[in-house]
Amino acid sequence: MKICRHLFRLTAPAALFAAAALTAPTAATAQTPLETAISHLQYRELGPALMGGRIADLAVVEAKPQIFYIGTGTGGVWKTENHGTSWTPLFDDQPTSSIGDVTLDQSNPNLVWVGTGEPQNRQSSGWGNGVYRSTDAGNTWRHMGLEGTKHIGRILIHPRNPDVVYVAAVGDLWGPNEERGVFRTTDGGETWEKVHYIDEHTGAIDLAMDPGDPNTIFAAMYQRQRTGWGFNGGGPGSGLHRTLDGGDTWTELTEGLPDGDKGRIGVDIFRQDGNVVYALIEANARTPRRPGAGGGGGGGGGGGGQNQSGLYRSLDRGETWERMSNTNPRPMYYSQVRIDPSNVDRIYVLGTQLMVSDDGGRNFRRDGATQIHVDHHALWIDPNDPDHLILGSDGGVSASWDGTGHWRMFDNLALGQFYAIGYDMRDPYFVCGGLQDNDAWCGPSNTRSFHGIRHQDWYETVYGDGFFTIVDPTDSSIVYSESQGGNMNRYDLVTGEKIPMRPITGPRENGDTTKTYRFNWNSALQLSPHDPSTVYLGANYLMRSRDRGMSWEEVGGVDLSRQIDRTELEIMGVLGSEPQMSANDGISNYGNITAFAESPVTPGLLYVGTDDGNVQVSRDDGATWTNVANRIPGLPERTYVSRVEPSAHEAGRVYASFDGHRNGDYAAYVYVSEDYGQNWTQITEGLPDGWSVNVITEHHRAPNLLFVGNEVGVFVSVDRGALWVQLKNNLPTVPVDDILVHPRDNDLLVGTHGRSFWILADVSPLEHLSEEMLAEAGRVFPSARASIMWAERGDWPFQGATYSAPNPPRGARIRYYLRDAWEAPMAEDGGGEE
């Protein structure tokens, strides 16, 4: 019988280490020896793909509508040339994966522009670094500047002169900056001119060009800012503006439009008559925040006087306007209106549902896309066949060929946005995780199918926005799953029973007016490493259950947050107690636990991190707590704690990562303490600024081996954080929100926020990497697995149209290192045949 042996190597030229330290890059390769040594390690994409992920924009070649591009919220740019039967990722090696807009030149479809940084204003939105241009239909890209814009809402190409391009730059979501407004280039992006600017808080969110007169352009200006504690979605800077001279001069349009402050605006022009313009306008929908520490509603409008938000129409190129209806669903997140290019009376408004009007916007039905995922952000209507539509939502891409009557979802794109991941101890093991707006799921790391891991291999564990999903390490049939706001259940895979577990908040049935707990969007959920029946859940108090979630106690009985009353905090100069549009949308609470861990070495040694910057330590099982945040050097106040990681090797050692982007601070913050948090050292050498850190993970066997996930990928250190290098290889550029190491198989498990789940199999070689090892002539590394699994079944694969993730290679995996380049025949089977 032929026995395949798969050989995986770590190699480097001999001279590389002759006189070079592990941390020193070489002039020839511009890589450190560590980077060179790990360059052969390859990840395996696992999916899932059946639920898709957030789509920001679409661009379709009108002459060949089977060819189109999608820009995703955090998963890069993709292209299909066969109407979604198969897809090609185009942005995997660019510096960012958050996309705001994709635009192509219909007269020359090889010319494609991409604006980075999604404009959806979510608490989980990614950011970008400007605009990119391709002249070969997306095969290669060139960065064309506007680095500081952070978020791009729209790009327009002049239909007669493709060197003239307009960019709507929304600007930094998390703070003021001047790199926002409307930019114009007349030389194909070599130089840019800011042709319309309001102030450091107001950018441009949308543009629309008169198809008959490209000098006439409408710009939706948008004032907004999000912070760690809230969102203010409007102000005096917002408004609808127009130029009649290609951007040289601009006029705000007011006749018939709402007075006073406005929020987000979306605009579209009828393709056959530039006099007809529609605008979705958020206005006078301002919600006062509820008082109290951490108080405040989920936002979304309402109150604050007469509501003039809605859909407006102009029949004279914007000179005057008429309010057609009050339709304007969740403006902060949507604000997209589209006119059927061949029917001026058919209007589409995108929102939680796809809303359709057949009378010019006076009345809408909400059944435009009932069979597919909700939350719609992008719509293309075929100008040659208005029954053909392509729609992008939080659940991926879908198409209709009968005018919204029926839809086909393209479930062959692995765009899942994981917040947190887990695993079980079955063999082969299953991985689990919670997805943005797409529930929590578990699926196998390996199957017996010839065709790999398919949709049917995954199962759902909780509904809603998914977060921590943790399996009992002693009983893989028990799964703890969490959705937003601390809502969680215990799922018994044997019986199918799901038991709600969130601690009761608010008045009890007996009339007790007990305190209300404040849960984060992504509440910390963990099992004790010493007792799997002990469950911890973070609110503003640390909650603990010793009976698998049937009853709860407050650990120590103290609020571990800073107890800041966010109504006393300002956003863009407006107090939280004052009315604000889309107030606090997406942030229902402030002052709560975002990170928790119990030491795997010492039972009862507990660490807590909060969204308002506290780092709390208890060495007596929660009886008393010490806030050590002020002992962390160089860390700005109130910086969100993204992870605490007690060491599995030293009782007093603990790592912590912090995410400052919610305060407009994009630096990397990673620290280590060797004395239970009393003193801290920053360990960020090699981590890029501009991309905040989401997670730090220590290897369970190798004390020097650490992993970090940030907004652009995975980084590794083999010297306990003295130096970090990117462990990219074939992993696309994508935010990494969680990293784990499977304790038995030693696989690196990577939960991305935009490209689903990835596995780097058996990281045993990384355990042994050091300057001394790299100086050796060679080494064979031990394997974590003592058994292999063979495929034994298959079915019809429907290549491309049906997603499948590859199983691990069949056969034994041997990893080795050779210091010197060496080539020789390698035996492929037991008979010595090559």
pLDDT digits (tens, 9 = 90+) for 182-232: 999 999 999 999 999 999 999 999 999 999 999 999 999 999 999 999 999
Rounded to an integer, the average pLDDT of 430-446 is: 97
**Mean pLDDT to the nearest integer, 571-600:** 95
Of 388, 409, 430, at which residue does a domain stop?
Answer: 409
User: Which of these, 274, 297, 132, 136, lies nearest to 213 by C-alpha position?
Assistant: 274
Confidence category of residue 9, pLDDT binned at 50, 70, 90:
very low
Task: Measure Cα distances from 660 to 296, 430, 505, 670, 690 in Å.
Answer: 22, 33, 30, 11, 10
Same domain for 648 and 768, yes or no, is: yes
| pLDDT score recorded for residue 19 | 27
Report whether pLDDT(792) > 90.
no
Contact indicator for 157, 184 with CB cutoff of 8 Å:
no
* Section 566-571 average pLDDT: 97
pLDDT of residue 819: 82
pLDDT computed for residue 815 by the predictor: 84
179, pLDDT greater than 60 = yes
- Region 782-803: mean pLDDT is 72
Q: How far is CA 198 from CA 194, 237, 468, 773, in A?
A: 11, 6, 42, 58
Residue type at 818?
A: L
| 108 and 226 fall within a common domain | yes
Q: Which residues pair with 199 in a beta bridge?
A: 202
Q: Indicate whether 451 belongs to any domain.
A: yes
Do 134 and 169 sit in the same domain of this protein?
A: yes
Report the chain's terminal Cα–Cα distance, integer Å.
15
Position 810 in a domain: no
Instruction: State how far Cα 542 lies from the chain centre.
Output: 27
Q: Is residue 674 part of a domain?
A: yes
Percent of the chain with pLDDT over 90: 83
| Residue 688 binned pLDDT confidence (cut-offs 50, 70, 90) | very high
Residues 401 and 444 in one domain: no
* Amino acid 159: pLDDT: 98
Residue span of the structural domain in which 430 resides: 418-780
Examine the pLDDT at 667 and tell me if it is beyond 50: yes
Buried b (16+ CB within 10 A) or exposed e, 322-354: ebbbebbbbbbbbbbbbbbbeebebbbbbbebb
Same domain? For 382 and 457 the reply is no
Q: Are the C-beta atoms of 111 and 133 separated by less than 8 Å? A: yes
What's the total number of domains in the chain?
Answer: 2
Statement: residue 91 has pLDDT above 90: yes
160: which 2 tokens? 């007669």
pLDDT at residue 16, rounded to an integer: 26
Determine the residue type at 392: G
Do residue 396 and residue 496 come from a single domain?
no
Same domain, 578 and 709: yes
- 316 and 427 belong to one structural domain: no
Query: Is residue 507's pLDDT more than 80?
Result: no
Q: For 270-279, 337-346, 451-460, 746-755, which range has the lowest pLDDT when averaged over its residues?
A: 451-460
Where is the domain boundary, 381, 409, 437?
409
Q: Is the pLDDT of residue 501 over 50?
A: yes
Do residue 391 and residue 437 come from a single domain? no
pLDDT at residue 678, rounded to an integer: 98
pLDDT at 306: 58
Q: Specify the pairing of strand 262-269 against strand 239-243.
A: unpaired
User: Minimal CA–CA distance to 757: which of 794, 700, 803?
Assistant: 803
pLDDT beyond 60 at 5: no
Q: Which of helix, strand or coil describes residue 580? A: strand
CA distance 38 to 653: 27
Instruction: Tell me, yes or no, whether 15 lies in a domain.
Output: no
Euclidean distance between CA atoms 727 and 253, whole angstroms? 51
Question: Span 345-372, mean pLDDT?
Answer: 97
Mean pLDDT of 497-517: 76
Q: Residues 434, 394: one domain?
A: no
Torsion sign (Cα): 292, 296, 302, 308: positive
Establish if 94 belongs to a structural domain: yes
Highest mean predicted confidence (pLDDT) among 354-358, 449-453, 584-588: 354-358
- Which tens digits make up the pLDDT trace of 723-778? 999 999 999 999 999 999 999 999 999 999 999 999 999 999 999 988 888 889 98
Residue 588's pLDDT band (boundaries 50, 70, 90)? Answer: confident
For residue range 610-632, list pLDDT tens digits in order: 999 999 999 999 999 999 999 99
Q: What is the distance between the alpha carbons of residues 54 and 393, in angstroms, rounded to a whole number?
A: 6
Does 795 score more than 50 pLDDT?
Answer: yes
Residue 35 lies in a domain: no
Residues 426 and 574 grouped into a single domain: yes
| Rounded mean pLDDT, 366-385 | 97
pLDDT score of 828: 55
Average pLDDT of span 416-425 = 98
782: confidence class by pLDDT, cuts 50, 70, 90: confident
pLDDT band of residue 794 (cuts 50, 70, 90) is low
133-151 pLDDT tens trace: 999 999 999 999 999 999 9
Residue 25 to residues 33, 36, 333, 728, Cα–Cα distance (Å): 7, 10, 45, 17
Q: How far apart are CA 279 and CA 212, in angstroms?
A: 19
Helices (H) and strands (E) counted in the chain, each on its own, are 4, 64
Residue 331 lies in a domain: yes
Nearest Cα neighbor of 238 from 279, 210, 269 is: 279
Which has the closest alpha carbon to 265: 354, 192, 336, 341?
336
Cis ω on the peptide bond leading into residue 428 (within 30° of 0)? Answer: yes
506's tokens: 């608010």
pLDDT in tens, 393-406: 999 999 999 999 99
Long-range contacts of residues 380-386, Cβ cutoff 8 Å, at least 24 apart:
380/58, 380/59, 380/60, 380/68, 381/338, 381/340, 381/341, 381/348, 382/60, 382/62, 382/65, 383/62, 383/271, 383/341, 383/342, 384/62, 384/65, 386/340, 386/341, 386/342, 386/343, 386/346
Compute CA 235 distance to the chain's CA centroid, rounded to the nearest angstrom. 27
pLDDT of residue 822: 73
What pLDDT does 34 receive? 82
Q: How many CA atoms lie within 13 A of 704 on its CB side?
A: 12
Q: In this structure, what CATH number is given to the domain that contains residue 385?
A: 2.130.10.10
- pLDDT score at 796: 64
Residue 21, classified by CB atoms within 10 Å of its CB into exposed (0-12), middle (13-18) or buried (19+), is: exposed
Same domain, 196 and 230: yes
Query: 154, 136, 139: which is closest to 94 by C-alpha?
Result: 139
Question: pTM for this one?
Answer: 0.93
Phi, psi dihedral angles at 458 (to 5 degrees) = -100, 150
Q: Classify residue 241: in a domain, yes or no.
A: yes
Q: How far is it, in rounded angstroms, from Cα 152 to Cα 71?
A: 12
Average pLDDT over residues 683-712: 98
**pLDDT, averaged across the chain:** 91
Note the maximum CA span of the chain.
86
Check residue 34 and report its DSSP letter: H
pLDDT: which is higher, 815 or 248: 248
End position of a domain, from candidates 391, 409, 427: 409
Cis peptide before 48 (omega within 30 of 0): yes
